[in-house]
Amino acid sequence: MTTAARAEDICASPPPQLVTMSGAINRALRDAMTADPDVVVFGEDVGTLGGVFRVTDGISRDFGQDRCFDTPLAEAGIVGFAVGMAMAGFRPVIEMQFDAFAYPAFEQIASHVAKMRNRTAGRINLPIVIRIPFAGGIGGVEHHCDSSEAYYAHTPGLKVVTPATVEDSYSLLREAINDPDPVVFMEPKRLYWSKGSIESVLAATKFASFGRAAVRREGTDVTLVAYGPSVEVALQAALAAEESGWSVEVVDLRTLVPLDDETMVASVRKTGRCVVVQEAQGFAGVGAEIAARVQERAFHSLHAPVLRVAGLDIPYPPPKLEHLHLPDVERVLDAIARLQWDDDTDTRFLPSDSKGGAT
């Protein structure tokens, strides 16, 4: 080995260290608690056990049981307690163990958490973060998988965040904890074990602001708008569509409230077509709001109606039928094929068996 080669080996940067999404959220909680002694973490089994998904593993041990502690199995009580703590100057970060477990607390969330600032004419803020593991893909039984984001997004006074990457799970949670308003932080259960690097965001001096979508993949023919667990499905579909000649852009919303109209609409104006992908049932869902906004703001750029690929309008199915309910690559490709490509002079988009045809 030459001297130059040895020097190159010594100077080479080590590969970035990978962490899981659950690990990134754990790190975000730890860093926030270190930075601000008023940040407290509590919920069912978050202390000794470290949470069902081990997101809070070791935090009670390292920060003490007065900073991270277990609560009774009483979701309404957990949220009500957080309201009182926030009014007293704390920054509670609470965990609803599963998405459908949070429904008993919805009255507290809608009537008090979301309305306190308005009710007091801005004199009282509630800097509460409500962490909710949500959506499917893990084969959970009844009440353990649901897509409840529309309830919170429809409730004025709440910010709603849905990270799709390991890096975003860290940076968006740090921003949520720093925010003066209540934030519903929806964590895709199926992505807890995905891996990525958070080194770049750890080195950043500030976090990306809420309401900034991310273009995960550039394209020119059609825009896929997705959030949370559906982003990975959209990216896989974009890759598969490339084989059929479609150039697909993927927009990750990152936050549902506030919603980044600018990035979303700019993408659709460029591509002229849009498909919204969500796991939640289609009727009256977040995808319907996205479709309405795109058609209101980019109507003259559209070559076809905005389509939605969503879960079925049924109660969440049992584990063995889950795959029939969740949007997959095939359903997204089918929607792309139905975007009236026959009006395009480019022969790539003429009806063909590979694209399902146009009628």
Catalytic center residues: 144
Which residue from 134, 119, 128 is spatially nearest to 159, judged by alpha carbons? 128
Q: What is the CA radius of gyration of the chain?
A: 22
122 CA to centre of own chain: 28
CA distance 46 to 60: 8
For residue 27, give both structure tokens: 């790190």
Residue-by-residue DSSP string for 172-192: HHHHHHH-SS-EEEEEEGGGT
Beta bridge partners of 274: 223
> What separation in angstroms does the CA of 30 have from each of 178, 187, 213, 257?
13, 17, 26, 25
For residue 256, give both structure tokens: 């549902």
The answer to whether 224 and 271 are in contact (CB under 8 A) is no
Beta strands in 16-74 (DSSP E): 19-20, 39-43, 68-70
CA distance 233 to 27: 26
For residue 116, give both structure tokens: 């306190």
CA distance 102 to 207: 28
The structure tokens 């506030």 sit at 258
By three-state DSSP, how is residue 129 classified?
strand
Beta bridge partners of 226: 252
CA distance 43 to 49: 11
The answer to whether 10 and 25 are in contact (CB under 8 A) is no
